[in-house]
Amino acid sequence: MRIETLRLKNFRAFRNVEMSEVPQFCVIVGANSAGKSTLFDVFGFLKDCLTYNVTRALQSRGGFREVVSRGCESESISIELQFRLTITGADRLVTYLLEIRNLAGKPCIEREVLRYKRGRHGSPYHFLDFTRGSGYAITNEEDFDKTEDELDREEQVLNSPDMLAIKGIGQFTRFKAANAFRQLIENWHISDFHINMARGSKDIAGYSDHLSDSGDNLQLVANHLYENHPKIFKKAIAAMKSRVPGIGNIQPEPTADGRLLLKFQDGSFKDPFIDRYVSDGTIKMFAYLVLLYDPSPHPLLCVEEPENQLYPQLLWELAEEFRSYANRGGQVFVSTHSPDFLNAVRLDEVFWLVKNDGYTQVNRARENKQVATYMADGDQMGYLWKEGFFEGVDPQ
């Protein structure tokens, strides 16, 4: 699956914006407070709504009044995603719409819709349509020989009007699109990496299938790759060696008290270093490679400002790794302030955010004729950004 379009209304600084034809590798730039973190939080918000419910997702962000755009408290928050999904062997554009309103001081789902076209022509069919906790889902959506009136609608009433219909209905495979979209959201990775949490020995009994959002299980995931996917682990180590000068090898090692730590071999020294004595940049680069070489990759990665703690020369290498991950089928969103990182990206991959009169606008680099012309003449994106060619963005 790949997100192609994102539409937001009344979500914090995003009063009414649209991102269309979103690429596999999508890079977001903008000044401080322009809305980069807010954009990424849209994905985190949807994941929290699915994992818990809308009320809890809002409460963790200060409540409905802190999430809805200023001055729009009587209106709905609206999030709409369009993504590609293969259904019965055909590639279809599926739309998911979520509208949230505050009624009598309590948040509820005003509307939740999942729709797509069954054929090349005509209007999209609503295969899931709920309002304030009740609605229907189509159970035979793959019966393409049936007319809309012949489709079987299963009426449902949810336990609460702040619960996503895809949370319950999406558990059942007979609801194809809902089931696939639920799995998509559940497997999003919204990075909140912390160097200090990634260091040190870890209890072997911890979670090791995927790198956590904070990176606190780095040793366990590395060991999981080392023991169960040795070829993939070797690829990650080879990438690390080529990206970071001086790295000879990395190996998980159990401790006497039944925990795990990482040992880094520097080519200049006989004895390896435990991760406590390795630079922040080395730890962070290795964590990114563990994430990017996951044998069961996430459909969506969101990474904020990967340049922090990394040597500028590594940023070109990291951008290549993100793009390679995207080319293998995942989708990657990255926000950055770094001209060095931007120098490694392409014209079609960049959006930039500008805040005017308190609200954020979304611009696309390829639609700026001046930027597109300079890029066609061989200039690099980071240099253009640093020189102020992105209208409304202060590179400092």
394 pLDDT band (50/70/90 cuts)? very low
Q: At CA 311, angle to CA 305 and CA 314, rounded to 5?
A: 80
Q: Examine the pLDDT at 198 and tell me if it is beyond 50.
A: yes
Comparing 241-250, 284-293, 348-357, the range with the smallest average pLDDT is 241-250
Q: Do residues 314 and 282 lie in contact, with contact meaning Cβ atoms separated by under 8 Å?
A: no
Q: Which residues of 311-322 are buried (b: 16+ CB within 10 A; e: fewer)?
A: eeebbebbbebb
pLDDT for position 396: 41
Percentage of the chain beyond pLDDT 70 is 93
Per-residue pLDDT of 107-134, as tens digits, reads 999 999 998 876 665 677 888 999 999 9
Interaxial angle between packed helices 312-327 and 280-292, expressed in degrees from 0 to 180 and rounded to the nearest 10? 10
Prediction pTM value = 0.92
Q: Do residues 245 and 263 lie in contact, with contact meaning Cβ atoms separated by under 8 Å?
A: no
pLDDT for position 127: 85
Comparing 208-212, 267-271, 391-395, the range with the smallest average pLDDT is 391-395
pLDDT for position 114: 93
Instruction: Please report, as a single letter, which amino acid is at residue 273.
Output: F
Residue 360 CA to residue 350 CA, distance in Å, equals: 16
Classify residue 346 as exposed, middle or buried by CB count within 10 Å of its CB (0-12, 13-18, 19+): middle
Residue 155 CA to residue 337 CA, distance in Å, equals: 49
Helix spans in the chain (H): 36-51, 54-59, 64-67, 165-169, 176-186, 195-198, 218-228, 230-243, 280-292, 312-327, 339-342, 369-376, 381-386
Q: At CA 28, angle to CA 22 and CA 31, rounded to 5?
A: 150
Tell me what the pLDDT averaged over the chain comes to.
Answer: 89
Measure CA of the first residue to CA of the last residue in the chain; give whole Å: 36
Q: Examine the pLDDT at 174 and tell me if it is beyond 90.
A: no
339 pLDDT band (50/70/90 cuts)? very high
What radius of gyration do the chain's Cα atoms show?
23
Residue 93 CA to residue 181 CA, distance in Å, equals: 12
Q: Do residues 153 and 70 lie in contact, with contact meaning Cβ atoms separated by under 8 Å?
A: no
Per-residue pLDDT of 51-103, as tens digits, reads 999 999 999 999 999 999 999 999 999 999 998 877 667 778 899 999 999 99
Structure tokens at 108: 């509820």
Q: Which of 318, 298, 300 is nearest to 309 (CA)?
A: 318
Residue 323 CA to residue 130 CA, distance in Å, equals: 37
Q: Examine the pLDDT at 2 and tell me if it is beyond 80.
A: yes
Number of H helices, E strands in the chain: 13, 18
Q: Examine the pLDDT at 392 and tell me if it is beyond 70.
A: no
Higher pLDDT, 181 or 122: 181
286 pLDDT band (50/70/90 cuts)? very high
pLDDT for position 142: 65
Taking CA atoms, 91 is separated from 2, 326, 373, 390, in Å, by 11, 18, 34, 35
pLDDT for position 268: 66
Per-residue pLDDT of 153-167, as tens digits, reads 889 899 999 999 999
Name residue 254's beta-bridge partners: 260
The distance from CA 334 to its chain's CA centroid, rounded to whole angstroms, is: 8
Q: Examine the pLDDT at 393 and tell me if it is beyond 50.
A: no
